[in-house]
Amino acid sequence: MGETVESVFARLEPHLLTVSKPIQYVGGELNSTVKEWDCGAAGEHGVTVRWALMYPDAYEVGLPNQGVQILYEVLNERDWIVAERTYAVWPDMEQVLRTEQIPQFTVDAHRPVAAFDLFGLSFSTELGYTNMLNALDLAGIPIHARERTEDHPIVLAGGHAAFNPEPIADFVDAAVLGDGEEVVLKISELVREWKQQGRPGGRAEVLRRLAASGAVYVPAFYDVTYAADGAIAGVVPNHPDAPERVRKHTLMDLDAWPYPANPLVPLAETVHERFSVEIFRGCTRGCRFCQAGMITRPVRERSIETIGDMVENGVRKSGFEEVGLLSLSSADHTEIGDVAKGLADRYEGSNVSLSLPSTRVDAFNITLANEFSRNGRRSGLTFAPEGGSERMRAVINKMVTEEDLIRTVATAYSHGWRQVKLYFMCGLPTETDEDVLQIAELAKRVIAKGREVSGRNDIRCTVSIGGFVPKPHTPFQWASQLDVETTDERLALLRDSVRADKKFGRAIGFRYHDGKPGIIEGLLSRGDRRVGAIIEQVWRDGGRFDGWSEHFSYDRWIASAEQALAGTGVDLEWFTTREREYDEILPWDHLDSGLDKDWLWSDWEDALAVADGSADIEVEDCRWTPCYDCGVCPEMQTEIQIGPTGKKLLPLSVV
């Protein structure tokens, strides 16, 4: 025993002052963990399982990521597991690593990523794929899974984007669908057993065991064939132990998993300078565009008491004075009123501030916001009607009437808020110019109402617009994505309409991005294995950090797509702006999110019927109107877990 691996820090250190923000590469964050490389040797099983966890974006974005922090902590709690973190290095550091021949390293103990047993990447967005290839290459791990040997880590993808890992099927050894807390431990146990037995059968055998367990999807064990028209003809297991379909993981009883319990506090500045508690997971509002709401079903709440304990523990251990209550729709927690009041009471007069991202357009949220701003802080209020016209909102099943919105903002402005942010999407199915222009009308009415109820003229409204990208496992997975030109034209039309308005134009801020990154995200979201060659080409051509406008190159993606798809009979438009038919085999059909495909299709048809006025169908939230139609609960043997518990938060005892 006595395995060791050398830290690269001594080689790195002389170069740190030549790169920007060197602090992001040195580790040493509060509550970070450095363990002995062979910490498991003395234990019951005599072996150590080692994970390098990566959030494939810059440190400042990756460090606050809750998913990575949770897995890092859950894994490190086991005395036979070492888990360390690594992030995408900026081009200046990449240059240092390549010139000095220093491999991709972890920030915890600066160990080479290639020395670990498992290399797990969490993909919140598909735009991190080129960063994965760069990290693999810097680590000295072959970018193609088929070229790896027993000496290389098993490369695993997780996160929401992993619900369609086909575009990266050539690069990852395995993908994990759903909640990670339990499955990372299961994978660790399988790897431990294999190592303990002396690694029988090498890499192929450990992958076989992982696939056979049903815990992970191993793309190499499935063959994809294509029909003459370019569509998928079939996806068939080529290994007897690979299941026909691979299921997602669902963590039940969130109260039993109160993580992060030791939140990482970086020295460097990051995008989220707060401690966040996930108050529930899943959402059943049924917004048709929302992949997160579809793939994280059912709703599982944390109880008011666990939330209270997690907030107190988190602020004490981190020193953050701002706490965010996270979820997909935070005001929907069954006890949110008591949570808000209880926390506001507990921290009254203390400078601890609370925030509630992701709230719906609902006057009740103003009551909550009032609780959260007792200490006088009035940050902006954000609401997401998503669609500008009533028709559009019915199509996406975001059931907010204009009356609701106006009433909500009236309450906000009359309670002293001066600024309201509204979030919309452009490019939704069946959308016309008129639907998008309604966004401007709505914003004008919001300002008019604000001036009326407050009696002041300094009322502001910021309109943020994102391009709609159809995502797998949603009712819109068959939809045509709006092309770049039309997206940009519509946004220009809207901008001009706002600017031309003398009375309200100056009170309305307008934020949007052009349609180019959206189309590439669309290609990667609904792509199949043929898209992998495009990603590789873009990376070879220097593409990295595609989520950053200053690094993203649309032209490079277009050129690479043309080159990589030549001869396949399909092209960028085929993957993005083409509407799919019912019979088409979708690249992710063999990956089971629990959603019944026929239910998704009927919901898509309902959306189209609502769009042309031939029907008036609203999908209700199954939290309050029991319904098993989407299929998740019966398919996954899960159930909704909600309160109310009837408990209240007691004042904290004085220490």
Positions touching another protein (CB under 8 A) are 9, 14-18, 21-23, 25-30, 265, 267-269, 273, 315-321, 351, 375-378, 414-416, 418, 655
How far apart (Å, rounded) are the C-alpha atoms in residues 192 and 200? Answer: 12
Nearer to another protein, 23 or 609 (CB): 23
Enter the tokens of residue 240.
Answer: 């007897």
> What torsion, rounded to 10 degrees, do the Cα atoms 342, 345, 351, 354 define?
30
- The nearest distance, CB 53 to another protein, in angstroms, is 20
Please, what is the minimum distance in Å from the beta carbon of residue 48 to another protein?
A: 24
Q: Minimum Å distance from CB 69 to another protein?
A: 16
Question: What's the closest the beta carbon of residue 114 comes to another protein, in angstroms?
Answer: 23
**CA 386/CA 581 separation, integer angstroms:** 26
- Show Cβ contacts of residue 491 under 8 Å, excluding neighbours closer than 6 positions: 426, 436, 465, 512, 514, 515
Nearer to another protein, 16 or 406 (CB): 16
Phi, psi values for residue 352, rounded to 5°: -75, 125
Strands 222-226 and 232-237: antiparallel
Q: Tell me whether residue 316 or residue 503 sits nearer to another protein (CB atom).
A: 316
Q: How many residues does the chain have?
A: 655
* Cis-peptide, bond into residue 298, ω within 30° of zero: yes
Which CB sits closer to another protein, 372 or 478? Answer: 372
CA distance 1 to 198: 13
d(CA 256, CA 309): 12
223 - beta bridge partners?
236
Q: Residue 15 or 160: which CB sits closer to another protein?
A: 15
Residue 322 Cβ vs another protein, minimum distance, rounded to whole Å: 10
Specify the residue, 236 or 267, whose C-beta has the smaller distance to another protein: 267
b/e 630-653 (16+ beta carbons within 10 angstroms → b)? bbbbebbebebbbbeeeeebeeee
The token pair that represents 498 in the structure block: 């706002």
Closer residue to another protein, CB minimum distance, 22 or 509: 22
User: 592 by DSSP, 3-state: which?
Assistant: strand
The one-letter code for the residue type at 99 is T
Q: CB of 137 within 8 A of CB of 544?
A: no
Query: Which among 77, 35, 32, 85 has a CA at the least distance from the CA of 61?
Result: 85
Least distance between another protein and beta carbon 110 (Å): 10
Q: Indicate the residue among 28 and 634 with the shorter CB distance to another protein.
A: 28
Judged by beta carbon, residue 239 or residue 418, the one nearer another protein is: 418
| Cis check: omega of the bond before 644, within 30 degrees of 0 | yes
Please state, in angstroms and rounded to a whole number, the distance separating the CA atoms of residues 446 and 331. Answer: 22
455 vs 626 by CB, closer to another protein: 455
If the CB atoms of residues 164 and 365 are measured against another protein, the closer one turns out to be 365
- Residue 183 gets which letter from DSSP? H
Smallest gap, in angstroms, from Cβ of residue 275 to another protein? 10
Q: How far is the CB of 286 from another protein (least distance, A)?
A: 36
Region of residue 545 (left: phi > 0; alpha: psi -120 to 50; beta: else):
left
Contact 172, 138 (CB under 8 A): no
Q: How far is the CB of 355 from another protein (least distance, A)?
A: 13
Q: What is the closest distance, in whole angstroms, from the C-beta atom of residue 351 to another protein in the complex?
A: 6
Nearest distance, CB of residue 273 and another protein, angstroms: 8
